[in-house]
Amino acid sequence: MKGKYKIIIEWSQEDNAFVVSLPDIEVMQPCTHGESYQEALENAQDVLELLEEVYKQEEKSLPQPTFYG
């Protein structure tokens, strides 16, 4: 993956799972989840890789990641 995107992982009592948001990319939020923090992180990385493939197939560039000082 070329960019370094912010991944937000939060516990959802309602879903009884860790939910993942990718604020730099316009996709349905939250975009994935996991039963553990580690699983949620791995799933987020998978989503980012899939999005990179989709954008490439559509000949589009992923949005630039937001960097914080």
**pLDDT tens sequence across 56-67:** 999 998 888 888
Mean pLDDT of the chain: 91
Domain of residue 38: give its range: 8-57
Who wins on pLDDT, 50 or 68? 50
The three state secondary structure string of the chain is CCCCCCCEEEEECCCCEEEEECCCCCCCCCCEEECCHHHHHHHHHHHHHHHHHHHHHCCCCCCCCCCCC
Residue 33 lies in a domain: yes
What would you measure as the largest C-alpha separation in the chain, in angstroms? 39
pLDDT at 56: 93
Residue 41 lies in a domain: yes
* pLDDT over 80 (residue 69): no
Q: Quick one: tokens of 40?
A: 């949620």
Who wins on pLDDT, 3 or 37? 37
Residue 1 lies in a domain: no
Structure pTM?
0.84
Number of compact structural domains in the chain: 1
